[in-house]
Structure 1
Amino acid sequence: TLFVSVLAGGGLIAVVALSMIMSIAIVVFAFMLLKWKKIGFWGIVGATVLNVILNSIYFFSVNSLLTSLISIIVLYAVLQIKKNNVKAWEHLK
């Protein structure tokens, strides 16, 4: 598979392809989150973490790492906002 190819030193093209797949997955999970699915949040977190790991191995960038970490924190914080004493997180199924 593509992931095994990347781990086995499959080269830059395999890393870029897997990063693109992870980016598409993040968009899909974002749509799931808009439909109030909790798996959308966890999918975004998982895909972002995997993307950070791949980028750290091949293109280490502090900016990319910080941006990804901050985006997860902001998403979690937004889901903690209360309306009528009910958090958005509690609306997720």
Structure 2
Amino acid sequence: MKASHIALCTMMVLLLAEVQVSMAVTCSPVQLSPCVSAITTSNPPSSLCCSKIREQKPCLCQYVRNPNLKKFVDSPNARRVASTCGTPFPRC
């Protein structure tokens, strides 16, 4: 019984840590600067670009709603880069 309680507590701590990490994202479009080359050309995204897209995914809809960022973030190339990085673009 004690082992199952320890396992349950461990899982809860991990889940809570994951929630706190995802809530700690600071939305900053500047964080996507490593993706500029991949978005504006047909170059493949770098691993840093993919990392930043995954990090900024909760912010993508906010960027799409910004008229100054929409044409950059909501372009077919931006969606291609996100998809290549394994981060499907959210429906906003």
What's the TM-score once normalised by structure 1's chain length? 0.29
What's the TM-score once normalised by structure 2's chain length? 0.29
- Determine which structure has greater relative contact order: mean sequence separation of CA pairs < 8 Å that are 6+ residues apart, divided by chain length: 2
Structure that is richer in strand per residue: 1
Which structure's CA Rg is the greater one?
2
